[in-house]
Amino acid sequence: MEEVELSPPHPHEIRIKVFSSSLCRSDISAWESQASSAIFPRIFGHEASGIVESIGEGVTEFREGDHVLTVFTGECRTCRQCTSGKSNVCQVLGLERRGVMHSDQKTRFSIKGKPVFHYCAVSSFSEYTVVHSGCAVKVSPNAPLEKICLLSCGVAAGLGAAWNVAAVSEGSTVVIFGLGTVGLSVAQGARLKGASRIIGVDTNPDKCEKAKAFGVTEFINPSDSSEPIQQASYFSISTYSDPSWDFEFDIEVHLSCLFHMASGMGVDSHSRCTKSEARDVCPLWLVAYGKNTQGNHIWRVET
């Protein structure tokens, strides 16, 4: 634990008393500096709920005492991307990778005058944090703050994947590789959209019962087979899926997603690409057969 100083909110920023913050895999990846350059000292955390403690000049949409969720991909609501209706990657408040605030490229945290860098311009592993007002969303004061922090990243990502990107429809068959928070939320989203088969793939046998509670109808553990994952799951899944997802980018798993999709109909969607060697892989021959692979940034969820 470290004592840090936090400045008051600058214009168009709010200071939040953090109530709950969950640990997302992206925090760990960034801590291990797998996907981005090493920026330290730094405060991680980007999936949080809290209460507005103070507001900066020009903030009109929040008041002290409002209950909020942080949003690591903010919205200015005026740039080309925000007004397109097709993208949630704001050109002004999009994902911040340099450890500073969007507006002035400086930090609000410090220790004895030395900067402590941010993560995704949220930094919720602290008692208080400052975010741009476009990087928070107001929620009902009746919503349980200790639970809804998951909506700030993982749950919203999964529901958005099912609803906005793959647009799961009645009677769809979906395959989900990886049953963490995001994968389980995809299952929940697919169930709400009427998918008839929801196949969950995970190497952890403990996920089986949990996944069924979220809507998974069939569970496959690739470790139960001596065959490579593509073979094992290919022969277990008798029909091709419409959409499929891979939530922990792995080349073998990603290729398996593509194998399983119906040509010209499916959407293979993966959440992150942290391993440098994975960036060199592009299974073009599968794309040529009408398979769609699509990168997603918090699955087009907008606030």
Q: Using CB under 5 A as the criterion, which residues of the chain lie in contact with Zn ion when the complex forms? A: 24, 26, 76, 79, 82, 90, 92, 153
Residue 217 CB, nearest approach to Zn ion (Å): 27
Nearer to Zn ion among residue 118 and residue 291 (C-beta): 118
Residue 82 CB, nearest approach to Zn ion (Å): 3
List the one residue out of 206, 171, 164, 204 whose CA is nearest residue 185: 164
Residue 298 CB, nearest approach to Zn ion (Å): 8
Look at the alpha carbons of 201, 187, 194, 289 in this order and tell me if their dihedral is positive or negative.
negative
Nearer to Zn ion among residue 122 and residue 255 (C-beta): 122
Nearer to Zn ion among residue 47 and residue 53 (C-beta): 47
Residue 135 CB, nearest approach to Zn ion (Å): 11
Q: How far apart are CA 76 and CA 92, in angstroms?
A: 6
What kind and span of H or E run contains 18?
Answer: strand 13-21
Nearer to Zn ion among residue 76 and residue 100 (C-beta): 76
How would DSSP label each residue in 74-125? ---SSSHHHHHSS----TTTS---SSS-TTTS--SEEETTEEEB-STTT--S
Nearer to Zn ion among residue 76 and residue 139 (C-beta): 76
Nearer to Zn ion among residue 88 and residue 293 (C-beta): 88
Residue 159 CB, nearest approach to Zn ion (Å): 14
Tokens of 52: 């507005």
Nearer to Zn ion among residue 83 and residue 169 (C-beta): 83
Q: Work out the burial of residue 115: count CB atoms within 10 Å of its CB; fewer than 13 is exposed, 13-18 middle, 19 or more buried.
A: middle
Q: Over the Cα atoms of the chain, what is R_g?
A: 20
Residue 181 CB, nearest approach to Zn ion (Å): 9
Residue 47 CB, nearest approach to Zn ion (Å): 5
Give the contacts of 288 (CB within 8 A, at least 6 positions apart). none
- Distances in Å between the Cα of 89 and the Cα atoms of 95, 206, 241 are 8, 35, 28
> Residue holding tokens 């794309």?
287
Q: How far apart are CA 142 and CA 155, in angstroms?
A: 19
Q: How far apart are CA 177 and CA 201, in angstroms?
A: 5
Residue 74 CB, nearest approach to Zn ion (Å): 8
Nearer to Zn ion among residue 71 and residue 258 (C-beta): 71
Backbone torsions φ then ψ of 150, nearest 5 degrees: -65, -25
Compute the residue count for the chain: 303
